[in-house]
Amino acid sequence: MSSQRGVAFRVATFGESHGGGLGVIIDGCPPGISLDLDAVQAELERRRPGQSALTTQRKEADQVEVLSGMFEGKTLGTSLAMLIRNKDANPKDYAETKDLYRPSHADFTYDAKFGIRAWAGGGRASARETAARVAAGAVARQVLATLGPVEVVAWVDQVGQIGSKVESESVDRAAVDASIVRCPDSDAAAKMEARIRKIRADGDTIGGVVRCVARGVPAGLGEPVFDKLDGDLAKAMISLPAAKGFECGSGYSSIAFTGVEHNDLFVPEAGGIATSTNRSGGIQGGISNGMPIEISVAFKPVATVFKAQQTVGRDGKSATIKSRGRHDPCVLPRAVPIVEAMMCLVLVDHWLRWRGQVGDPPPVPLEGSAE
């Protein structure tokens, strides 16, 4: 089972939802980076359970421990290993349904592939495993800061049918974190929060969309054909639990344009080159063009609902199942730092690969205008 990603900056995660803990091993982290562990912990705080009334009430501090790869506050260039111990695991919540296949979960497919599964909380299929990704992404963000002034910000853009009116050019983290929904549009955030609370009270769940922008990414990151930057971003985002859709730039809305209408026109700007619009989402031909990289990720409703549903057991017989345990009614607020983490992991990997191919890092791009 693959739990690894990356080429130059390679991460391997491990751990189950209700096991001893989760962790990540990073190979390829450059030496001499003054790693701020408080900043790593801050990212984990944004993702951890129990942070608000809109999330699962599982109580995990998600305190990160560095086991190797650092000395006197700096990275060594060797394998960087980090561990996050589970403190509030409760596998007995799943004992009653361990032989039943929960609708839209990975129970059946893991059994079909491996013939065995960790039935407590879904094991590796649980969103709990993303804690390790966030820890790795926080390291990647700090490595990016040594390469250039890159800023990565994600936010909740839609919950169910409720959308925001956020302009990607102006959104910042302070505005995102001002609301427990993590939507910087205060009017939309209030409606989203009310909708999630209602859904939770009904024992149901709801999905939505997270948008993310990476500013300051230089032109030249990405590879032709199979390792395109947008292709790797798509793979990274769709690998997230509950992620079902990915768009870069105009995405599916591009079908409403003609080619003349959709093309991003190149324009001179302060001695450099920019584009008048950014429907390409900062990526053309699989390679960054210096404009902000803009993506969207669609998350389905959480599969665990607290209503009786039809299913079958491992014996193939019909059964009725009603889930227990502690679960998010909507993954969107906690998905924001996870999407940012995956963006940082993909960008740092491609930046280090670019540097390995041509030497010095590419120049920082000039900011262009965009719709």
Q: Would you say residue 127 lies in a domain?
A: yes
Residue 82: strand, helix, or coil: strand
Q: Write out pLDDT tens, residues 308-336.
A: 999 999 999 999 998 876 778 999 999 99
Q: Would you say residue 366 lies in a domain?
A: no
Burial of 37 (0-12, 13-18, 19+ CB in 10 A): middle
Q: Would you say residue 13 lies in a domain?
A: yes
5 - beta bridge partners? 11
Longest dimension (CA), the chain: 70
User: Residue for token digits 């969107």?
Assistant: 332
Give the pLDDT confidence score for residue 269 in this predicted structure. Answer: 85
Q: Would you say residue 367 lies in a domain?
A: no
Give the pLDDT confidence score for residue 325 in this predicted structure. Answer: 67
CATH number, residue 168: 3.60.150.10
The arithmetic mean of pLDDT across residues 10-39, rounded, is 95
Q: Would you say residue 340 lies in a domain?
A: yes
User: Residue for token digits 């001499």?
Assistant: 32
Least confident span in 111-115, 194-198, 339-343, 360-364: 360-364
Which among 353, 149, 237 has a CA at the least distance from the CA of 141? 149
Q: Would you say residue 371 lies in a domain?
A: no
Q: Would you say residue 235 lies in a domain?
A: yes
Residue 24: strand, helix, or coil: strand
Q: Write out pLDDT tens, residues 220-230.
A: 999 999 999 99
Residue-wise DSSP of 309-330 = EEEEBTTS-EEEE---S---S-
Share of the chain above pLDDT 90, in %: 78
Q: Would you say residue 369 lies in a domain?
A: no
CA dist 330 and 60 (Å) reads: 18
Give the count of domains, the chain. Answer: 1
Find the domain containing 286 and state its range: 4-358
CA dist 77 and 82 (Å) reads: 14
User: Residue for token digits 């408080």?
Assistant: 38
Burial of 180 (0-12, 13-18, 19+ CB in 10 A): middle
Give the pLDDT confidence score for residue 360 in this predicted structure. Answer: 66
